[in-house]
Structure 1
Amino acid sequence: MDLKLPSTSQDILRCKLCDTPMPPLYCQLCDINLCKTCAGDHLVDETKEHKVVPIKQKWNPRNPLCPKHTTKQCDFYCKQCDNPICALCVLSGEHDQHKKIDIFERKIEKLENEIHELEHSIYPKYEAAASDIKTKKDDLKTNSKKMRTIINEHGKLWHQELDNIIKSLLSEINDNESEQLDIFESEERKIHLQMNKILENIQDLKNLVSSRDAHLVPEYITKLPEFSELPPQLHVVLPKFMPRPFHKNLFGHLKNCCVRQEFEFWCMYNAKNNRNTNQYVQ
């Protein structure tokens, strides 16, 4: 199979870990391109097995070596044993009753299985997830619109109730003012009436004194008792507005809103297939 390296600027090879262009190395088991610096760090990772080779081998894959005949490459795959085998294994007769296929065909079969898993299992789940997100976005927008309407309507009710409270308090102030003014004005009229009488009496007395009338002076009867009861002192308690602290929570509040992620992993192969895949699917 004669495969060529990518040639366009869009397909330029880059290190998977640091994005350096034209990396010279490739990890066969992890299927990632690596620059020299990242390759060293990659090999230090002991959580899994690595096989770093020159990147040219990425397009010229070799069949795995036979575990029994270590100098031979495996050209066949034994379905019963679920393992790659070499020509010497076939000649040994150990696999005579087993179904054997060309290892390249086995690789094609694995790739076709992977395509099937991607097309019929994984991709539909991504489609469903994308559709679910769209639905949830629509639900979020619909709910937000509904909440805005509810809050605005609730606000209008509060404004209306607040206006009613203000009108009631202002009316109470006006009524109280009118009632108190009536009392003040009534007392004021009485006082002015008495003041006029007092002034008239003063003038009469002055005229009597000036006349020195021997007949009228002795007969004068004092009017002091009439004016001795002084005007009452009016004690007024003026109304005072006692505002209460404003608490915004009295209006209402929103319950917490959040997006919670739940991850799901799709197992394409069983543990045995996963182990074998690392051995011969490149």
Structure 2
Amino acid sequence: MATTSDEQAAGQHYLVCGIQDCQKNGQFYCNDCHQPMCEQCKDKHRKSPNNKNHDIVLYRQRKHQLPIEKCKLHPTKNVDIFCRECKTPLCLKCFLGKDHKGHEFDDLEEIYAEKYALWQGEFSKIQKYFLPTSEDLKTDIEEDVIEIKKIMECIRTSMKAEAESLKNLVDEVTSENIEHTHTMEKSLLQMLKSQETTYNDYIKYLGKMSEKFQEYLSTTNKKLMSSKILKLKTIPETSKPVQPVFTPGQFNRDDVAKLLGILNIPNTEPEKRKIQPMEAVSTPMKFTEKQMEQSKEKSDMKQTLSLSSSVTKVREYSVPGVYSACHVSADKSGRLWVSDFGSLVQTDLQGKLLQNIQTSGRDDGYHTATQDRGLIYTDRYKKVIYRITSDRKITEFIKTGDWEPVSVHSSRINVDILVGMYKDRDRMMKDEEAKVTRYNKAGKEIQNIQRDNQGQELYDYPHYITENINGDICTSDYDKKAVVVVNKSGQHRFSYTGQGSVFRPYGICTDVLGHILVCDDVSETVHLLDQDGGFLSVILSEQQGIELPRGVCVDDENNLYVGQLRTNPVTVYKYLE
């Protein structure tokens, strides 16, 4: 339960003035009396002669009161003095004793306040500079990892393409060479065939000549003597073919490596990551009344706004087309989007129906108004996020893969899209996952938030989501029974678990002062928290006619819209002034 004891005021709508019977907003603090004061009581307090030297500051710049600690030597006395020489805290009785006679002393409360401010300043530096900057650097590294993987994959693809190209060239040249062997073989064989024919013809010629000689040899001497002498043709001359010779190519592994290219890292100095300089994260300052008045004069509307002394109902109107007002989004045009189980409608501020869209939505924060007067909504079963433009055109915006998008918020700081997601890997084994994903305005995934620094799951079912003025991402997690808040880098800041034994959060929103407003299904109330998760008050309850609050949002005029289960009127309240 993220609370601050001195800021709790159950049933109140702000920090109450500590002056008796005054119920106004205690925005100032007397460091001498240790009590909050409203502006009027602060002025009266200052006018009293007894209080004219009292140190009065803004409540957030107050000195923290010294914790009560009993003296070990005098158990009935409180320790509130510090002996410089002995370097030990004392009570009044110790101070008056002989052991510390002539010593120099300090007000222990002053030392405590200084130390508290110092360590609070260091803590603030961690939260506001060191952690976010380190997370940004870590994100930078993660982006570099993705980039390196992409580059190496491209290089591998290029290498394979080069190798394939070389293989194709080798195959092409080899094919040409083999074809050349066939041509050469055919030519040589034709030459040898011709020579074979020559000898075949000559052998036939010899056969005929042999027959003639045998004929002459079998005749009479007279005929033999009178016949012409036959001369034989000489044996034809032929040449042996010159045998082809294959000379292997002269190459080695290095030659092939050169052909395929070389991979290396350029010999250049690595670029150092840019670390943003730490802005002045100062410790709480002490303001004079004159400085406070000057600051007040220079402040804008945001700074002059404060919690009203009472919550005022402005108006109420029924929303046609829905049975319940489970989630409410107010857009820049002054119109309202309201949803229940399957219906998403747009109305004007008089309750006139302008659009009616059938969806797969349930009692989750599955739609969000955008800065360009449009709307973004999720379809958890199709695993798609849709965009509606100001001209009522519906387009598919983002596909979420295996994850069911259950809640969505359009940032007013940088127009990023924050989506609460859920994945049921094995329903029988109850094996489930949840996360928050950030997309840029183009729908590109740029951040995933799922676990804390110890590796523990942050979310179970983030069914409503919003963003605070400091960039904190605030989710209402029904199964976790908590409001889970992380900073813009995804670092877990705190979890708020309500004020009772059971807390079931639903609709959640923030306002211009950084307050967090969240509906509790169990107590049927709306809780008001400060920016750090400290409980301030139950701002709406049954006393204001609230039953089963579900959806809440604050518009640009600081009006609070509240929707409820099992009834379709939306009620509008003023709680800032």
TM-score by length of 1: 0.54
Q: Closer, same or farther in 2 for the Cα pair 1:222/1:108, shift >3 Å?
A: same
Q: Which of 200, 204, 211 is the matching residue for 1:203?
A: 211
Checking the alignment, whether the CA contact within 8 Å between 1:208 and 1:216 is kept in structure 2 is yes
1:231 aligned onto 2:240: no
Q: Closer, same or farther in 2 for the Cα pair 1:172/1:64, shift >3 Å?
A: farther
Rounded Cα–Cα distance in structure 2 between residues aligned with 1:176 and 1:113:
92
- Structure 2: tracts of 5 or more residues without a match: 1-80, 91-101, 279-577
Q: CA deviation at 1:262?
A: 6.3
Q: CA deviation at 1:261?
A: 10
Q: Closer, same or farther in 2 for the Cα pair 1:193/1:170, shift >3 Å?
A: same
Whichever residue aligns with residue 199 of structure 1, its letter is: G
Q: How does 1:72-221 map to 2 (within 5 A)?
A: 72-73=87-88, 88-90=103-105, 102-221=110-229
Checking the alignment, whether the CA contact within 8 Å between 1:64 and 1:74 is kept in structure 2 is yes
- Secondary structure at the residue paired with 2:104? helix
Partner of 2:387: none
Moved more, 195-204 or 239-248: 239-248
TM-score by length of 2: 0.28
Rounded Cα–Cα distance in structure 1 between residues aligned with 2:154 and 2:274:
32
Rounded Cα–Cα distance in structure 2 between residues aligned with 1:129 and 1:180:
75
Whichever residue aligns with residue 175 of structure 2, its letter is: K
Q: CA deviation at 1:179?
A: 1.0
Higher helix share: 1
Q: Closer, same or farther in 2 for the Cα pair 1:72/1:170, shift >3 Å?
A: closer
Rounded Cα–Cα distance in structure 1 between residues aligned with 2:132 and 2:154:
32
Checking the alignment, whether the CA contact within 8 Å between 1:122 and 1:266 is kept in structure 2 is no
Q: Closer, same or farther in 2 for the Cα pair 1:175/1:118, shift >3 Å?
A: same
Partner of 1:255: 264
Moved more, 161-170 or 194-203: 194-203
- Structure 1: tracts of 5 or more residues without a match: 1-62, 76-86, 92-98, 269-282
Rounded Cα–Cα distance in structure 1 between residues aligned with 2:220 and 2:210:
16
Rounded Cα–Cα distance in structure 2 between residues aligned with 1:267 and 1:150:
41
**Structure 1, residues 176-199: CA drift from partner, whole Å, max 9, x if none?**
111111111111101110111112
Whichever residue aligns with residue 238 of structure 2, its letter is: P
1:245 aligned onto 2:251: yes
Q: CA deviation at 1:119?
A: 1.2
Q: Closer, same or farther in 2 for the Cα pair 1:170/1:152, shift >3 Å?
A: same
Rounded Cα–Cα distance in structure 1 between residues aligned with 2:226 and 2:89:
158
Checking the alignment, whether the CA contact within 8 Å between 2:82 and 2:108 is kept in structure 1 is no
Tell me the number of residue pairs that the alignment of Structure 1 and Structure 2 aligns. Answer: 183
Checking the alignment, whether the CA contact within 8 Å between 2:198 and 2:236 is kept in structure 1 is no
Q: CA deviation at 1:207?
A: 2.6
Checking the alignment, whether the CA contact within 8 Å between 1:191 and 1:231 is kept in structure 2 is no
Checking the alignment, whether the CA contact within 8 Å between 1:65 and 1:74 is kept in structure 2 is yes
Rounded Cα–Cα distance in structure 2 between residues aligned with 1:194 and 1:200:
10
Partner of 2:56: none
Q: CA deviation at 1:165?
A: 0.3
